[in-house]
Amino acid sequence: MRTLHHAPTLLRPHCTTQLQSTQTVQKMDKMMNANMPQLRSSSSVSPPLTSLTNKVGKRWKEYQGVNNWNGLLDPLDENLRAEILRYGHFVEAAYKSFQFDPSSPNYATCKFTKTTHLERCGLHKTGYKVTKHLRATSGIKLPSWVDKAPSWVATQSSYIGYVAVCHNKEEIKRLGRRDIVVAFRGTTTCLEWLENLRATLTNVVPSTATGIAAAEPCSVEENGAMVESGFLSLYTSKVSDDPSLMSLQDMVRKEIARILKTYEGENLSLTITGHSLGAALATLAAYDIRKSFLRPPHVTVISFGGPRVGNRSFRRRLEEQGTKVLRIVNSDDVITKIPGFVFDEVEKKEGDVEGNGGEHVASFQRWMRKRVEEVQWLLYSEIGEELRLCSRDSPYLRGINIATCHDLNIYLHLVDGFVSSTCPFRATAKRFLHH
């Protein structure tokens, strides 16, 4: 099961909790992919630096949210639009570099080397270089029957994203600083899918594994700050039988520490971006980095289609840190309205499912409800500032379903087209659709 031209989403699982359910989900996956409109930009690769007309320069902190994007979202500032799309392309590169083929011995690894990564993903002349590939590990304890399952079912640790640093002098000048990017893809593997079902809130517990001096003392309960247990598990878990393999948290901390030391004294920014599950991990990573370093750079999260991550205390702690979060939200995307996977509004959207696929999706919905009927609903809270978009505003989108509303390329299409709340879509949008 693989997607060729569009990003996999939280709503397209690669397995179920039981092996006999796999074929049903595979059929649903094919049905959704067949109906998925695909996006193309006017150019298959990113434009060269010299063709970029938007100037960030001295106003870069505004575009990174120092004033909470006040006056830049409605109407959407053209420079901010370009920046959001630029970071969205970095997230696309995390998807495109993932080895989807479960029959491959390299399943769930990065297909490209660090030196060729961005170019192989179609991002030429970005001015950035990849410095680290990142892996996330599930903390789920698997049942005994997994030993008889295909190896891809029990893949515990998977390539989840990368760190890249701006190294081109011309781009550094345009941006007004040296930018560090951490990009995360969304849910892809079986165990990541199951982690998303763990929607109970759990205390944020600081890790001391890296030995990095914390910016401030913190208690075990972090003043009541709680986050979704599945997301935190993927961020902090390690491979139990191989202590040499670090958690995602430790990998991020170690690489950021190295980069900060390398470029000490320079004007730096850290932009953490992700889609779906990756949006949740981006928020956790931003929180963790701000707490782990005595003098962290300006930290900004640009998230696409992210679920709710934590409670009000967690949001308050982020705000106290000075971490800036810009959530790109499609109002038709149910994932942005929930912690994990509880579809309170799915029945309202049955009209979005067309053709023979309706029966498959209805079966999937019933399966999902059974998996999460015991989930505790605690007080999740929206985090950061929101750029709210809507699939129905695009004249190019017809007959989309709950899966396409969550697709990353749909998000980038809507960002490119959005003008303001009174003029939701511009006629000159460069990204377009075809089947």
- 144-195 confidence digits (pLDDT tens): 655 666 766 667 889 999 999 999 999 999 999 999 999 999 988 887 878 8
Distances, alpha carbon 232 to alpha carbons 203, 309, 395, in Å: 9, 9, 39
Question: For residue 331, what is the DSSP state?
Answer: T
- Catalytic choice (133, 298, 360, 406): 406
pLDDT above 50 (res 226): yes
Reported confidence tier of residue 370, pLDDT bands at 50, 70, 90: low
Percent of the chain with pLDDT strictly greater than 70: 69
pLDDT band for 26, please (50, 70, 90 cuts).
Answer: very low
Strand partners, 385: 326
Q: Examine the pLDDT at 326 and tell me if it is beyond 50.
A: yes
- Cα 360 to Cα 9, 21, 32, 409: the distances in Å are 17, 12, 10, 24
CA 278 to chain centre: 2
Catalytic residue flag (residue 333): yes
The model's pLDDT over 358-369, given as tens digits with 9 standing for 90+, comes to 565 566 556 555
Q: One of 157, 276, 303, 391 is an active-site residue; which one?
A: 276
Q: What's the mean pLDDT in 36-46?
A: 41
- The active-site residue out of 179, 288, 333, 352 is 333
State pTM to two decimals. Answer: 0.79
Asked whether the predicted pLDDT for residue 112 surpasses 70, the reply is yes
Cβ proximity of 100 and 2 under 8 Å: yes
Q: Which amino acid is at 398?
A: R
